[in-house]
Amino acid sequence: MITISPSILSCDFLNIETELKAFDKIKGMWFHLDIMDGHFVPNLTFGHPLAKLIRNVTSQPLDAHFMVKNPEFYIDTFKDFGIHNFTFHVEATMGHDELIKLIEKAKTLYPSVGISIKPKTPVSGIPDKAFDLIDLLLVMSVEPGFGGQSFIEGTWDKLNHIKELKKTKDLDFQVQIDGGVNDKNAKKLIEHGVNNLVAGSYIFKAEPKNYNTQIESLRK
């Protein structure tokens, strides 16, 4: 099944518990948490207290995407919040050795560990050993930092590269896409090897609010 990951950044934060409870019976989804520190990206979102609150009001898997300068700090401090998948940015590390060290450390604490790349970061910049270790590769199809951006068309070539790499080297990580995902491009994304789609505005801003319908429209 294709996993759909609604991005909480687009929800109604004044009614967050009601919003999240509306997803209780939906299968095959994760809640995507965009953690931004105001340094790695210019925006600042939420941190430990809200993540703990979210865990307390939903049983859905939590998928935390850390757009932060110091991922090692968050690997340590989020370990007790029931995070299912912990993703951090390749660009936040100081080279291949540190990248591998952080992946290995995160894998001792989280069921699933991912790495993410910005639109201008090539797949070729990721060491082979990382591909053997990760459970997920998050491809940003917009510049990280703000929601509601349009999909960057150059992402298609990157997805083709990843799809061929997985086939050639018999790799088994999930490919997640984040940015500008909607019912107009979801089918093509899946055809290009994506099996985990992050969507924020498309799901939470739809009227009338029928989250299951929005999610299923991305799987068709």
Percent of the chain having pLDDT more than 70? 99
Tell me: pLDDT of 126 over 90.
Answer: yes
For this structure, is 135 an active site residue? no
How far is Cα 89 from Cα 150, in angstroms, rounded to an integer? 21
Going by pLDDT thresholds of 50, 70 and 90, the confidence category of residue 5 is very high
Q: 174-217, pLDDT tens digit by residue? A: 999 999 999 999 999 999 999 999 999 999 998 888 999 999 99
Work out the mean pLDDT of the chain and round it to a whole number.
95
Q: Which domains does the chain have, with CATH numbers?
A: 3-219 (3.20.20.70)
**80, 135, 178, 183: which is the annotated catalytic residue?**
178
Tell me: pLDDT of 35 over 90.
Answer: yes
3-state secondary structure the chain: CCEEEEEHHHCCHHHHHHHHHCCCCCCCECEEEEEEECCCCCCECCCHHHHHHHHHHCCCCEEEEEECCCHHHHHHHCCCCCCCEEEEEHHHCCCHHHHHHHHHHHHCCCCEEEEEECCCCCHHHCCHHHHHHCCEEEEECCCCCCCCCCCCCCHHHHHHHHHHHHHHHCCCCEEEEECCCCCCCHHHHHHCCCCEEEECHHHHCCCCCCHHHHHHHHHC
pLDDT at 209: 85
Tell me: pLDDT of 149 over 80.
Answer: no
pLDDT at 135: 98
Mean pLDDT value across residues 41-62: 93
Tell me: pLDDT of 88 over 80.
Answer: yes
**12, 24, 34, 183: which is the annotated catalytic residue?**
34
Mean pLDDT value across residues 84-111: 97
For this structure, is 178 an active site residue? yes
Mean pLDDT value across residues 156-172: 97
Mean pLDDT value across residues 131-149: 89
pTM for this prediction: 0.96
Identify whether the C-beta of residue 33 lies closer than 8 Å to the C-beta of residue 25: no
pLDDT at 147: 64
Going by pLDDT thresholds of 50, 70 and 90, the confidence category of residue 148 is low
Mean pLDDT value across residues 55-73: 97
Tell me: pLDDT of 122 over 70.
Answer: yes
